[in-house]
Amino acid sequence: MPKSLIIVESPAKANTLKKFLGKDFDVKASVGHIRDLPKKKLAVDVENNFEPEYITIQGKSKVIDELRKAAKKADTIFLAPDPDREGEAIAYHIEQLIKEQTKGVIYRVMFNEITKTAVRAAIENPQKIDVSLFEAQQARRILDRLVGYKISPLLWKKVQRGLSAGRVQSVALRLICEREREILAFKPEEYWSITTNLEGKEPPPFLAKLSKVDKKKVELKNEEDTNKVLADIKDAPFQIADIQKKERKRNPYPPFITSTLQQETSRKMRFSPKKTMAIAQMLYEGINLGKEGPVGLITYMRTDSTRVSDEAIKNVRDYISKNFGKEYLPAKPNVYKSKKSAQDAHEAIRPSYMDKPPASIKQYLSPDQMALYELVWNRFLSSQMAPARMDQTHVEIKASKHLFKTVGSIITFPGFMKVYIEAEEEKENKDQEGANADDKSAILPPLSVGEKLKVLEILPKQHFTQPPPRFTEAFLIKELEDKGIGRPSTYAAIIGVIKDREYVFSESRRLSPSELGFLVNDQLVENFPDILNVTFTANLETQLDLIEEGKVGWVDTLKAFYAPFQKDLEEAEVKMKDFKKEVTPTDEICGKCNSPMVIKRGRFGRFMACSAYPECKNTMEISTEDGVDSKGIPKPQDQPIEDKCPKCGAMMVIKSGRFGKFISCSRYPECKTTKPISIGVKCPEEGCAGDIIERKSRNGKLFFACNKYPDCKFASWNKPVAEACPQCESPYLVERTKNGEIYSGCPKKGCGFKK
């Protein structure tokens, strides 16, 4: 009969531990939290030091009975939920429920990785429940309950039934709303660039971009300014004025922490933070590797520290030396600084074993698991490799009083880049035309100072400044982290909640506030300025950290928060605008009783209702001509482009319509010139001269079709590529994604060609 009991929170984790612990241990799982605040009432006694009222979570009674029975038989009990605040709360509540049923000694054990060495070390050095860590979790839970249960009824009463507010989520919503208002207020400004295609004594030709005029930074604000420069350089000789060659080092990136992992998976694989954390949890708790059984493949994934254990450093350095050679191994291990706010409780996210490279266990992993494991593996491996080295050449070219510049570089030693290169978020607010002139990887021919160059082409280009970008989920996480809002365990939940509540929506992977999101945010900012204050929220996170460290009391923290919050609540009850009572008149007439129709707000958003209600209960969907769609979501703004209308000469813009984006004259409706946006691929149907364009189905899903529809019925869910299949002679390939990598494949069933 086992003498020791170990309790974890996950059945998968339990299965992995059973392999290490043998017959002397009974391993049970709590399946997450077993006690929490009830859902249907506040359950916090604000008059009695915020005493919480915990209840058994519905469906957990059977689990608790099993834990109590197992505890009665054990001499020693080890509580081993995850090593963080939530894990400590689970351990605390389990202890409270089993301590009366057992004579065994109860310990708390924590491990950063589920390996035999780490687990055995934790059991040999057991601890007691960290009450301060539990109290930090309890304070956060009560804070969130107070905000949610006190503000949400006000929103139900004044704005719309079913709404809710969250302490941290509402601040994230504010960031998104403020960014959207910056975008709406933005006025594009015209500017021009001049790029030249030049040729030296030897190939290849290269591009150089105008940088200075009369030793001053170039500013071409319009076509007139540009034409003056073009006239000056038309017959001017182009000559190399200066060449600077430098060796440049590029250092590797630190191993992943929670936020950087979520950002990188968003960029490289288009995973949501929630999906990333779910897959990482599987890899941490254990994947069944055939005969070897369940194996935990990565360390704990909720961390803000870049610290790595000495043993892991030794193992990865041995791997690098053996598989890449000593030139790829720095003389000393690379050490990375964590942020000042980092708790440093856990190591960085890394592989648990260096003898399990991704290729060796690929058969046991799903595509998503493999993609994430490979990403963590490569990032950690590269973090301990030597810097990359490259020779960079800066070239300045004079033409009269004008200075053109270009940059080229050659990698002389790849170093860590042999294994890993971080994905770059698409560049915002920077015009990409003439990018080759600034491309640090551009190949330059042999050049010498004083050498005269042949001008192959001069390329003037009109541009418009762009508004600040909307947040991607990756960028929002970075913003939250930079501002000290939330912690590694909460980033995914923050974004998930505001999306689930339909306060924000995602279009082209960017977050925009819905009309409802704007409305809720404005009411909260106006009536609860502290709760929605970024600095205030960050300071509250710091207070929770201090509770965890045992430096401040959790009750004192809640008292300091609640007094001003209660005052704001009382004022908001009187001052908050009552949108449910407000109606907006319209020109529509009721089809049943001929009374005027009005716009009201109900449980599912705005709708049109008869003004004679309740005598007439006629309702209809709201018109979508007022800048928002039927769900109250703002329509995308027109995007100016550099083409001019062939009919009236006005600037053309990209508009978003029911079936996707299209190009239209900016003077619409006076001028109704439109044309589809081609993806640059001709229709592959035999005898058709159409172009392939992006369209949207009725449910909003993107697909690709011929612009000659209905005459041509060609359509594809995958983006066509203008290249014939070399195996089956299909006239085109399609773009596909697998494990985060984009490749081209044949669309014909049974062919299987890809590249």
Q: Rounded to whole angstroms, what are the CA distances from 386 to 259, 309, 334, 338, 392?
A: 24, 19, 9, 20, 19
pLDDT given at position 636 = 58
pLDDT given at position 70 = 94
For residues 304 and 487, the answer to whether their CB atoms sit within 8 Å is: yes
pLDDT bracket for residue 691 (50, 70, 90): confident
CA distance 279 to 268: 15
CA distance 720 to 736: 10
pLDDT bracket for residue 425 (50, 70, 90): very low
Instruction: Classify domain 258-383 at the CATH topology level.
Output: Topoisomerase I; domain 4 (1.10.290)
The tokens describing 74, both together, are: 């054990």
pLDDT given at position 345 = 67
pLDDT given at position 727 = 81
Q: Name the residue among 94, 100, 65, 69 with its Cα closest to residue 79.
A: 94
Q: Side by side, which strands form the sheet with 660-665? A: 639-644, 651-657, 660-665, 674-676
User: H-helix or E-strand containing 217?
Assistant: strand 216-217
CA distance 41 to 753: 59
| Over residues 201-221, mean pLDDT | 93
CA distance 641 to 649: 13
Q: Domain spanning 4-129 has what CATH number?
A: 3.40.50.140
For residues 246 and 412, the answer to whether their CB atoms sit within 8 Å is: no
Distance of CA 186 to the CA centre of its chain: 24
Dihedral Cα 603, 605, 609, 612, nearest 10 deg: 50
Distance of CA 460 to the CA centre of its chain: 36
pLDDT given at position 65 = 95
pLDDT bracket for residue 41 (50, 70, 90): very high
* Residue 444, C-beta contacts closer than 8 angstroms, at least 6 positions apart: 206, 393, 395, 406, 408
Q: Give the start-to-end residue ranges of the domains of the chain.
A: 4-129, 151-186+471-575, 190-250+393-464, 258-383
Residue 634 C-beta-side C-alpha neighbours within 13 Å: 19
| Over residues 127-146, mean pLDDT | 96
pTM reported for the whole predicted model? 0.76
Strand, coil or helix: 153: helix
Q: Which residues are catalytic?
A: 300
- Per-residue pLDDT tens over the stretch 379-411: 999 999 999 999 999 999 999 999 999 999 888
* Residue 667, C-beta contacts closer than 8 angstroms, at least 6 positions apart: 645, 648, 650
Strand, coil or helix: 697: coil
Q: Mean pLDDT score of the chain, rounded to an integer? A: 88
Q: Domain spanning 190-250+393-464 has what CATH number?
A: 2.70.20.10
Question: Is 436 a residue whose pLDDT tops 50?
Answer: no
- Per-residue pLDDT tens over the stretch 608-664: 899 999 899 998 877 554 455 444 445 556 777 767 888 888 888 887 665 567 788
User: H-helix or E-strand containing 584?
Assistant: strand 584-589
pLDDT given at position 357 = 97
Burial of residue 431 (CB within 10 Å: 0-12, 13-18, 19+) is middle
For residues 239 and 329, the answer to whether their CB atoms sit within 8 Å is: no
Q: What sign does the dihedral 679-685-687-688 (CA atoms) show?
A: negative
Question: Is 429 a residue whose pLDDT tops 60?
Answer: no
The tokens describing 296, both together, are: 């935990």
Check residue 693 and report its DSSP letter.
E
280, amino acid identity: A
The tokens describing 597, both together, are: 């129709």
Looking at per-residue pLDDT, the higher value among 23 and 556 belongs to 556
pLDDT given at position 348 = 94
Check residue 127 and report its DSSP letter.
B
Tell me if the domain spanning 151-186+471-575 has CATH number 1.10.460.10.
yes
- Per-residue pLDDT tens over the stretch 48-78: 999 999 999 999 999 999 999 999 999 999 9
The tokens describing 97, both together, are: 């429920």
- Per-residue pLDDT tens over the stretch 460-495: 999 988 899 999 998 999 999 999 898 888 888 999
The tokens describing 7, both together, are: 């309790």
- Per-residue pLDDT tens over the stretch 294-328: 999 999 999 989 999 999 999 999 999 999 999 99
pLDDT given at position 341 = 60
CA distance 219 to 429: 16
Which stretch of 99-113, 272-286, 735-749 has the lowest confidence by average pLDDT? 735-749
The tokens describing 604, both together, are: 């599912």
What size, in residues, is the chain? 755
CA distance 418 to 384: 12
Angle among Cα 314, 320, 326 to the nearest 5 degrees reads 105
For residues 479 and 264, the answer to whether their CB atoms sit within 8 Å is: no
For residues 397 and 406, the answer to whether their CB atoms sit within 8 Å is: yes
CA distance 588 to 567: 43
Residue 306 C-beta-side C-alpha neighbours within 13 Å: 18
State the DSSP string of 319-342.
HHHHHH-GGGS-SS----PPPTT-
Question: Is 600 a residue whose pLDDT tops 90?
Answer: no
Q: Name the residue among 328, 295, 300, 302 with its Cα closest to residue 312.
A: 300
Question: Is 674 a residue whose pLDDT tops 90?
Answer: no
For residues 557 and 551, the answer to whether their CB atoms sit within 8 Å is: no
pLDDT bracket for residue 680 (50, 70, 90): confident
